[in-house]
Chain A
Amino acid sequence: MSAVEAPTGSRRGGTVGEPGLGTREPLLELRGVWKSFGPVHALEGVDLEVPAGQVTALVGDNGAGKTVLVKCVAGAWEPDGGQILWAGQPVHMRSPREAAALGIETVYQDLALCDNLDIVQNMFLGRERVRRVVLDENTMERSAGQTLAGLSVTTVRSIRQPVASLSGGQRQAVAVARAVMWNSKLVIMDEPTAALGVAQTAMVLELIERLSHQGIAVLVISHNLNDVFEVADRLAVLHLGRMAAAGPASEFDRQIVVDLMTTGATTRRAPGATAGSSEGG
């Protein structure tokens, strides 16, 4: 489809049911997911594809339903209707634990780090390795070090320093490293750059790209369109609980996204979009 058709296309089902990018089926697929809180419909039949090895950005205005959608995927809430497919199989996640067992890890906006614990302790919190009853600090420290090195996080002086002494970007890196350490296949990041300065944002964006190069699917929620266009391979725009548009990032530009976020529709056409790069067409 071309960029002009993107919003209309999504309204009749977006990319769902179509072969998506190339031949592979998406790692995570949402089909017509509904979620209501009493009379309020937070999600009204949302479709979404999150392919492996790509960064999918979920954007939307406040109240669009981004957080609700993510919590459904992360297992915190169960959807009222629709299907969640994991590697093509329908799954029902009743808790974050079950989501983690599938390989879905979430990095929350507040990062959920304990300031008084060091990097290794934070990365293994809740999943400590134990020899008899004694914590096996050495193997934990080694694994943590390897994970951080694999993400090229080299700015921390010692992985035994308390998280309280880290910068915002480093804290984000620790939270991401914790998420990918468990053979995660999908990492969800909630506003990863919201509280960061320019240089640290660059560091985190680089980290996100590295994750996707490692074959991990990344779902990023962000308000910051600069960041979104910098890292995202795919975009999904939520508007009032409906998927306004979803597709490769090349089909969008800033103005289109702003239109979609605020009104749910657009008449513009992305200058960068060409017939060759569009999907399903």
Chain B
Amino acid sequence: MARIEEPPSTVGSGQDHQDRMSSAAVGDAALIAEAAAGEAALAAAPELVATTFVEYVRAWIARIRGGESGMLPMVVGVIAIAVIFQTQNANFLSPGNLTNLLVQGAVFMLLGMGEVFALLLGEIDLSIGFVSGIGGVVTAELVISPRGWPWWAAILAAVAATTAIGALQGTLITRLQLPSFVVTLAGLLGWQGVMILMLGTGGTIPIPSNVINDLANGNLTAAAGWAVMAVVVGLYALLTVTRDARRRASGLVAPPASLTVIKIVVVAAAGVGLVLICNTNRGALVPIRGVPWVVLIVLGVLAAWTFLLGRTRFGRYMYAIGSNPEAARRAGVNLARVRTAAFALAGLTAGIAGVIYASRLRSVSTSLDGGTLVLYAVAAAVIGGTSLFGGRGKALHAVLGGFVIAAIYNGMGLLGMSAASQYMVTALVLLAAVTVDAVARRGRAATQR
């Protein structure tokens, strides 16, 4: 176990670690014994005596040492932020404020999930802020008279439009082999122009549809909140257990039952906690309670993209291209198609974010700052643990990162701090996140061999 507790990132132990990796790799027990008898015993013993649960913990630690720090720094960061703000202002962790925080963070989370598609490829999409603006404007334009489309048709049209925009940008990037930075920078400028043009002289379009406005502002009833939570947790438990059972049935190593139970209990506890917090009355004059609709929308998008990235060929190719495009090409992956689809999906997600943005303000106006939004989207994804260098990231990262950004804003607002200091603190958090990514990456490079 001694080798696990070593810090992986310092230069000295990195070299040391490399040596151990190569000696462990020989496989031939005799050779290991000759090379370093004591060390070999240390390296081999945990494997021989480990129970499956311990093995899982070891694999997890090895993963972190291998540079996949994942969400660990973020979890530490969230706890730190919560402690700091709570000691300064007792309202920070109140149920009402926490629910508010979820709603505030929804747009960051959704945009961040869109950005993950670009970041996974090692590319970037700077345009999704204003593309989401286009989504909001299209929705508003279509539901308001004289057009008066039904709310669902307007939303579908808006999302279709932003998907098409993403696909167009993706086509330019892949077919003409232009850098994504430049193409989407042009998008950042161009779609802002289109948005202002569509908003017209008034500069503001109100949204008359209650359904659309409720997406971000409405709540489930208390009972419905519990019911939905029960269904979601039940589904998760069912999927996890059947997956493990199927693995055992095919004679493969499945996670130990204890680990599965722990996972399900954690998810159930999170669900119960969320519903309890949201169902607490947070209104000052009239009672307001219930899980906000937008929480379900974010969870739905999260589930869809997690499935797409984790369980389908497309997702597998995204990770492969992000890590080693040449290997993916030799394996017969159609790089252009996957890349274009990724940018289209970024546009699609941005469209959903735009609808939520418009819904929250019950209108769209020229005050929508897509430039700032996209930077928060990138920050959300990176803070959550997605690598800027491609190949590593999850939709979940963007949701957690968006939560962190919303928490910083919310907390600093509660403390009455200025916009100036909010920007500066967000900058520091972003730098810290990228530093963690870069250091982890160096750790990865050191362990390769």
CB under 8 Å from chain A, chain B span 1-27:
21-22, 24-27
Interface residue? B409 (CB, 8 A): no
Q: Which of A114, A127, A142 contacts B252 (CB 8 A)?
A: A142
Q: Which of A108, A126, A154 contacts B332 (CB 8 A)?
A: A126
Interface string of A82-119 (1 = CB under 8 A from B): 00000000000000110000000000101011111100
Interface string of B213-241 (1 = CB under 8 A from A): 00000000000000000000000000000
Q: Is the beta-carbon distance between A114 and B66 smaller than 8 angstroms?
A: no
Q: Is the beta-carbon distance between A167 and B21 smaller than 8 angstroms?
A: yes
Interface size on A, residues (CB 8 A): 43
Shortest A145–chain B CB gap in Å is 8
CB under 8 Å from chain B, chain A span 241-261:
none
CB under 8 Å from chain B, chain A span 17-57:
none
Which of A133-141, A210-218, A223-231 binds B? A133-141
Q: Is the beta-carbon distance between A203 and B26 smaller than 8 angstroms?
A: yes
- Kindly state the separation between the CA atoms of A16 and B63 in the bound complex, as whole angstroms: 52
Q: Which of B31, B251, B319 contacts A117 (CB 8 A)?
A: B319
Q: Which of B324, B328, B447 contacts A165 (CB 8 A)?
A: B447
Q: Is the beta-carbon distance between B25 and A169 smaller than 8 angstroms?
A: yes
Q: Interface centre among B21, B324, B330, by most A CB within 10 Å?
A: B324
Q: Is the beta-carbon distance between B322 and A135 smaller than 8 angstroms?
A: no
Nearest B-chain residue to A115, judged by Cβ: B323
Q: Which residues of the other chain, B, contact A110 by a CB distance below 8 angstroms?
A: 326
Shortest B386–chain A CB gap in Å is 12
CB under 8 Å from chain A, chain B span 55-71:
59, 62-63, 66-68
Interface size on B, residues (CB 8 A): 44
Q: Is the beta-carbon distance between A203 and B27 smaller than 8 angstroms?
A: yes
**Number of residue pairs A-B, CB distance < 8 angstroms:** 116
Known contacts: A161-B59, A161-B62. The answer to whether A113 contacts B327 by CB under 8 A is yes
Interface residue? B337 (CB, 8 A): no
- Kindly state the separation between the CA atoms of A161 and B21 in the bound complex, as whole angstroms: 14
Nearest B-chain residue to A97, judged by Cβ: B332
- Kindly state the separation between the CA atoms of A161 and B55 in the bound complex, as whole angstroms: 12
Known contacts: A112-B327, A113-B324, A116-B392. The answer to whether A162 contacts B250 by CB under 8 A is no
Shortest A103–chain B CB gap in Å is 16
Q: Is the beta-carbon distance between A115 and B391 smaller than 8 angstroms?
A: yes
Q: Is the beta-carbon distance between A142 and B323 smaller than 8 angstroms?
A: no
Q: Which of B24, B68, B252, B312 contacts A134 (CB 8 A)?
A: B312
CB under 8 Å from chain B, chain A span 156-174:
157-158, 160-162, 164-170
Interface residue? B316 (CB, 8 A): yes
Interface residue? B448 (CB, 8 A): yes
Q: Is the beta-carbon distance between A128 and B313 smaller than 8 angstroms?
A: yes
Q: Is the beta-carbon distance between A117 and B323 smaller than 8 angstroms?
A: yes
CB under 8 Å from chain B, chain A span 193-207:
197, 199-200, 202-203
- Kindly state the separation between the CA atoms of A217 and B328 in the bound complex, as whole angstroms: 26
Interface residue? A130 (CB, 8 A): yes
Known contacts: A114-B323, A126-B328. The answer to whether A164 contacts B448 by CB under 8 A is yes
Interface residue? B333 (CB, 8 A): yes
Q: Is the beta-carbon distance between A135 and B312 smaller than 8 angstroms?
A: yes
CB under 8 Å from chain A, chain B span 298-334:
311-313, 316, 319-320, 322-324, 326-328, 330-333
Q: Is the beta-carbon distance between B324 and A115 smaller than 8 angstroms?
A: yes
Shortest A47–chain B CB gap in Å is 28
Q: Is the beta-carbon distance between A112 and B331 smaller than 8 angstroms?
A: yes
- Kindly state the separation between the CA atoms of A164 and B21 in the bound complex, as whole angstroms: 11
Nearest A-chain residue to B448, judged by Cβ: A164
Q: Which residues of the other chain, A, contact B323 by a CB distance below 8 angstroms?
A: 114-117
Q: Is the beta-carbon distance between B27 and A112 smaller than 8 angstroms?
A: no
CB under 8 Å from chain A, chain B span 391-420:
391-392
**Can you identify 27 A-B contacts, CB atoms within 8 angstroms?**
A110-B326, A112-B327, A114-B320, A114-B328, A114-B391, A115-B324, A116-B319, A116-B392, A117-B323, A125-B328, A135-B313, A138-B252, A139-B250, A141-B252, A142-B250, A155-B26, A158-B59, A161-B59, A164-B66, A165-B21, A167-B24, A167-B25, A168-B449, A199-B26, A200-B25, A203-B27, A203-B28
Query: Apart from A155-B25, A160-B253, what 18 extra A-B contacts exist at CB < 8 Å?
Result: A113-B324, A113-B327, A114-B391, A117-B323, A126-B332, A133-B312, A142-B252, A154-B27, A161-B62, A164-B448, A165-B66, A167-B22, A168-B22, A169-B26, A199-B26, A199-B35, A200-B25, A200-B26
Going nearest first, the 7 A-B pairs with the smallest beta carbon separation are A167-B25, A155-B27, A126-B331, A112-B327, A126-B332, A114-B323, A125-B331
